[in-house]
Every structure is written in structure tokens, then in C-alpha cells.
Amino acid sequence: MNAVDLLKPRPGLRVLVSGAAAGIGAAIAHAFLDAHAQVYICDVDAAAVEQAKSRRPALHGSVADVSKREQVDRVVEDAANRLGGLDVLVNNAGIAGPTGSIEDLDPEQWERTVSTNLDSQFYFLHRAVPVLKQTSDCACVIALSSVAGRLGYAFRTPYASTKWAIVGLVKSLAVELGPSDIRVNAILPGVVEGERMDRVIAARADALRISFEAMREEYLTKISLRRMVTVDDISAMALFLASPAGRNVTGQAISVDGNVEYL
């Protein structure tokens, strides 16, 4: 098999993507569909799930709050049944969390950020890893972290804390699951173009009492390439990691960010 063939994910891969009715998760799900994979998504937004399924009839999916363990259990069981097993788990679901100084943060918002961004990844892994072991000969776990998982992020401590924890989880699981031939990696997106990033910029601008335009320019000056990345950049990395070309890549926290220098 040559290098070009290695870059193509195996047709028929059985892929579960959490938080995938919109944004990065949706881009990843669609990329795998375009690569002839079988894909199951879940999302907390019922209308968005139905819309995603209507746009791509081949897509399987259900509604779930990933911070609830019993709902994650149901998703994994349903996905495995519908797809006939699992080859790839993409732990994508997450929220931005609150913006503010540590003394002003609402403890309930902290807890919600941790439960959605971090606890959910454990819940999916807890149930999906046995399925990967039993049904796949090319098992792969991809966790979505963030550039905030390698850099400090003032006024976004709940979010950054969970994203750093995801990197630790990935590196530890790569060691644990390597003997079972399961690869585990994290993708660390940088500043991703789109409505969600616009909301983050607006919230941070408000916290720092500057204009949206000034805050956006400040984000760009921190990036070596002076541009944001796109959801397609992220989904391309996910395809690579799930392809034969990535068969010896594990335990890595891979930034797709144009080299964000600081936050």
C-alpha cells in the first residue's frame, strides 16, 4: 500500500461522534460520511439532530445530554447495535463555559463545564472501549481538546482546566490501551472561524471592556499564521488519525491552530 492509499480511511468504518449536530462535530461526521464510513452522532439539540439526519439520510443519530451517564450509556449501546460495532470514537461534545475572573465565577457554571467537557469523555470511554476491543481491528479514539489545553487562558479557567485534563486522559489511555492495539489521540483546535468563536470573542471583549473588533484583532495577532482555522482543517486531521497512515500515531496532542503563540 502506497502513501496515498494509506491516507484514505478504510471504507465502512463505524464511527461515533458526540456533540455532532453542528460545528466541529458536524464537520467531522460529514467528513467520515464522505469517506464512506458509517456514522452515528448524538447531540443535546433535538431539532439540530433531526435536521442533520434529514440533510444526510445515511447518518444515524439520537438526542443526549452527554453530562448524564445513563444517556451516554444509551447512545453507545444504540450506536453499536445500529452500526454493528465500533471502530472510531470521537469525543467531541463540549461547551465554552463561563467567562470571568475566578472570584466571580458561578460554581454551578464551573460544575456544568466540567461535567459536559470532561465527565462526558469518561462516560463515553467507559462504555465504548469494551465495544472497540470486542468489535474492531483498527480501533481509534479521538478526543477534542483545545489550544487552551496547552496554554493558560485567563478568564476562561473552567474551559481551560477541562481541556488540559483531556490531554492527560488521552496520554494515559494511550499507554493503557496500546497493548490492545487501540490508538488514542487528542486534536487541539485553535481559533476556529464561526458563530461559536464570535460568541467567545464577544464575551471576552465584554469581560475586558473593549470592542469586538479590537478583541478579534488581538486573537489574530497571537497566531503565527495570522488566520483562524476552519472546521474542515479539524475534520481532515480526524480522518488522518483514523486512516492507516495514522496507525503508529498514538498518545499525541496535535494542535491544528496556525501556531497560537499565547492566549
Which pTM does this prediction carry? 0.94
For position 185, what pLDDT does the model report? Answer: 98
In this predicted structure, the answer to whether residue 229 has a pLDDT above a threshold of 80 is: yes
Residues 125/126/127/132 CA torsion (nearest 10 deg): 50
pLDDT tens string 12-49:
999 999 999 999 999 999 999 999 999 999 999 999 99
Structural domains for the chain: 3-190+231-256 (3.40.50.720)
In this predicted structure, the answer to whether residue 5 has a pLDDT above a threshold of 80 is: yes
Between 146 and 8, name the one with better pLDDT.
146
In this predicted structure, the answer to whether residue 166 has a pLDDT above a threshold of 90 is: yes
Which distant-in-sequence residues (6+ apart) come within 8 Å of 21 by Cβ?
41, 43, 45, 48, 49, 51, 52, 61
Overall size of the chain counted in residues: 263
Intra-chain end-to-end CA distance of the chain, in Å: 42
For position 184, what pLDDT does the model report? Answer: 98
In this predicted structure, the answer to whether residue 1 has a pLDDT above a threshold of 70 is: no
Instruction: Quote the CA–CA distance of 124 and 126 in Å, as a whole number.
Output: 5
pLDDT band (50, 70, 90) for residue 203: confident
pLDDT tens string 105-140:
999 999 999 999 999 999 999 999 999 999 999 999
Cα 187 from chain centroid (whole Å): 7
Average pLDDT, stretch 200-225?
92
For position 200, what pLDDT does the model report? Answer: 80
Helix (H) or strand (E) holding 91: strand 88-91
Residues forming the active site: 159
Cα–Cα distance list, 159 to 31, 98, 116, 234 (Å): 26, 8, 10, 19
The fraction of the chain above a pLDDT of 90, given in percent, is 91
Which of 131, 126, 14 is closest to 66 using CA atoms? 126
Per the prediction, the chain carries an average pLDDT of: 96
For position 8, what pLDDT does the model report? Answer: 83
